[in-house]
């Protein structure tokens, strides 16, 4: 695992951004499955593919949620073509699929290119008790 400038974690088609403090980089787990199980924050996962037009549409929304909720949500992108075993484990049948995990358990699943407001609302509705401060909507949304 390696840390890249700008806060992106990149390794074998899994990217992690916004939510990990640079001092904690060496504490990243060795697998995606372990990451969603041991993270101290809820984990928002964007399952995507390079060839997927709707994935390109929703990607800026996921990045916005990650930036706005730094320290509240760990945000991860998983390329389903490069990590089919991860996609199969969570029965991903269409992309983009956005999931929220808490302590290894899926709390939310959306398939399709939803707008910012809909994704945020689903996150808020499924926010786990004990996860700390809830995500903050941007003023004017």
Cis peptide before 25 (omega within 30 of 0): no
Angstrom distance (rounded) from CA 98 to CA 66: 13
4 is catalytic: no
Is residue 81 within 8 Å of 14, Cβ to Cβ? no
CA angle 125-53-101, nearest 5°? 30
Catalytic residue among 20, 52, 65, 80: 52
55 is catalytic: yes
Catalytic residue among 55, 65, 86, 108: 55
Q: DSSP string of 45-66? A: EEEE-TT-HHHHHHHHHHHHHH
Angstrom distance (rounded) from CA 47 to CA 123: 16
Q: Which residues are catalytic?
A: 52, 55
């Amino acid at each position: 695992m390696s840390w890249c400038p700008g806060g992106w974690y990149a390794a074998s088609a899994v990217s992690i951004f916004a939510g990990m403090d640079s001092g904690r980089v060496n504490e990243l787990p060795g697998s995606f499955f372990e990451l969603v199980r041991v993270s101290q924050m809820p984990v928002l996962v964007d399952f995507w593919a390079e060839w997927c037009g709707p994935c390109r549409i929703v990607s800026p929304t996921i990045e916005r949620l990650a930036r706005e909720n730094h320290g509240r949500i760990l945000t991860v992108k998983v390329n389903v073509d490069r990590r089919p075993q991860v996609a199969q484990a969570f029965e991903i049948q269409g992309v983009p699929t956005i999931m929220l995990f808490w302590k290894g358990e899926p709390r939310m699943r959306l398939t399709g290119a939803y707008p910012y407001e809909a994704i945020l609302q689903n996150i808020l509705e499924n926010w786990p008790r004990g996860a700390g401060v809830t995500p903050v909507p941007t003023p004017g949304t």
